Amino acid sequence: MAAPVGELNDEVSSVETAGVPAKAIQGRTPGQLAWARLKHDKVSMAAMVIVIFVVLIAVATPILRSFGFFDPYAVHSNLIGGFGSLPFGPRGGMTMGHPFGVEPGTGRDILSRCLLGITLSLVIATSAVLISAVIGTTVGIISGYMGGATDFWLGRFMDLVLSFPQLLMLLALSSVLKQRIASILHEDSGAVLVSALYLIIVLGFFGWPYLARIIRGQVLTMRSREFVEAAESLGATRRRIWFRELLPNLWAPLIVYVSLTLPLNIGAEAALSYLGVGLQSPTPSLGNILNDSVNYYTVDKAYFLIPGAVLLLIVLAFNMLGDGLRDALDPKAGR
């Protein structure tokens, strides 16, 4: 009697695979799974390329400037003239030597100023995010783990900080805090350093409660987990439980927070410089370049549109990358 076709197929497959070692199933870490999801998101990958390019520009600009490749403060009076000291030539004086044109009134190279403006904006935004991340993570872990009265009073302090209108406080505290920072620093410290420290401190202080609430919620779900109870039963100190047991499990919300808050701080720095309480000219910033270009919008549109497009591209790239990271790090997100 003939054997069924299924049994013959099973015998053939077993003969073909005889003596061939089977592939071991390899597990993947959460980071590898997140990277695999992120690679399938073409928009996020394109945004990542732009972000990496911007970061490389920010790092390379001070180095190139120190070797004399460009000077954002150099005045080229021979490139401007006429009514309002407008640049010679079309599109704001764009040439091979000045691809973005030159500033009306001063003749300074716009490309050089945009490059240094990107560097300063990223330094301020990144420093403010780090301050917010450190304070928010610490407060969130303590609040979520301790509970009780500690959680209550820390929660009310978060509500108090969140109740202040951030932009209004930034404008109101500008003169007072700048004077205080200047008095603490050396007497001959420049106005650029004082303004930068002011932006970093204020943006960092008003940004931490958002992260603290996120971290608190995550810790509330983890404090009754087995690894925390095991550490407590072994006599681990609170500090060890906070920063050795809980903190390594909070990297996903931290990455998402940093990637989404960084563009907000870049935009806030530009807005404050535009309003006159951030970095001031001649120190280049994307905000004060836009502020200076408003007066020439009708006669030199390139001077206004180019820095605006640079700022838009940077903020959009960071936001798109942050959205992609949030989806990649969330296994429950729909794809």
pLDDT digits (tens), the chain, 335 positions = 444 545 445 544 444 455 555 555 666 776 777 778 888 889 989 999 999 999 999 999 999 988 888 888 888 888 777 666 788 877 777 888 888 888 888 888 889 999 998 999 899 999 999 999 999 999 999 999 988 899 999 999 999 888 888 777 777 878 888 888 888 876 555 678 888 888 898 888 888 998 999 999 989 888 888 888 888 888 888 888 888 888 888 888 888 888 888 888 888 888 888 777 888 878 888 888 888 888 888 888 888 888 889 989 998 998 898 888 888 877 665 54
Cβ atoms of 53 and 321 within 8 Å: the answer is no
Cβ atoms of 103 and 175 within 8 Å: the answer is no
Domain boundaries, the chain: 39-316
User: What pLDDT is attached to residue 24?
Assistant: 57
DSSP code, position 335: -
SS3 category, 29:
coil
- 109 forms bridges with which residues in the sheet? 102
Quote the CA–CA distance of 70 and 76 in Å, as a whole number: 13
Residue 333: both structure tokens together:
């997100």
- Start-to-end C-alpha separation, the chain: 52
CATH number of 39-316: 1.10.3720.10
Residue 308 exposure: Cα atoms within 13 Å on the Cβ side:
11
User: What pLDDT is attached to residue 16?
Assistant: 47
Q: Which residues contact 267 (CB under 8 A, 6 or more apart)?
A: 311, 315
User: What pLDDT is attached to residue 40?
Assistant: 85
DSSP-derived secondary structure for 143-186: HHHH-HHHHHHHHHHHHHHHHS-HHHHHHHTHHHHHHHHHHHS-
CA distances from 299 to 85, 97, 148, 243 (A): 11, 22, 63, 57
Closest of 249, 229, 268 to residue 137, by C-alpha:
249
User: What pLDDT is attached to residue 136?
Assistant: 93
DSSP-derived secondary structure for 77-146: GGGEETGGGEESSSTTT--SS-TT-B-TTT--BHHHHHHHHHHHHHHHHHHHHHHHHHHHHHHHHHHHHH
User: What pLDDT is attached to residue 60?
Assistant: 93
The residue assigned the tokens 């000077």 is 71
SS3 category, 45:
helix
Rg of the chain on CA atoms, in Å:
27
Scored b (16 or more CB within 10 A) or e, 202-224 reads bbbbbbbbbbbbbbbebbeebbe
Quote the CA–CA distance of 251 and 220 in Å, as a whole number: 16
